[in-house]
Amino acid sequence: MLPAPRPPVLTPAPEPDFPDVDDDQELVLEELTRDQVRDWWVRAMKDHQVVFDRIDRYGEPSARRLFSHQLVDQAWRRARLGHLDLGHTTWGQG
């Protein structure tokens, strides 16, 4: 009889390299690399609080420059709707 196979060892994925920003230091968009901007986008798509943190710290225009108008608008819509956004259609459309 063969021994039971062992489950694979799962190692956590490394955290993306986000620039460290102190409270006194401002994150300058022009100094970010493409990979850093992409990592910010991924974080914002997974957690819209990242968008709101950017708005609180640097203002909405800066958040729209970093993420996009569409992503910021989406974060605002979902914040107004609550946790679950299933979308809707009215009766009679079609």
Task: Convert 7-58 into a string of H (helix), E (strand) and C (coil).
Answer: CCCCCCCCCCCCCCCCCCCCCCHHHCCHHHHHHHHHHHHHCCHHHHHHHHHH
Residue 52 lies in a domain: yes
Task: Provide the whole-model pTM.
Answer: 0.57
b/e string for 79-91 if b means 16 or more Cβ within 10 A? eeeeeeeeeeeee
pLDDT tens-place string over residues 54-67: 999 989 999 999 99
Residue 20 lies in a domain: no
Give the Cα separation of 68 and 61 in Å (integer). Answer: 10
Residue 19 lies in a domain: no
Residue 70 lies in a domain: yes
Domain that holds residue 62: 33-81
Residue 7 lies in a domain: no
Residue 88 lies in a domain: no
pLDDT tens-place string over residues 5-39: 665 555 554 544 545 444 445 677 888 899 999 99
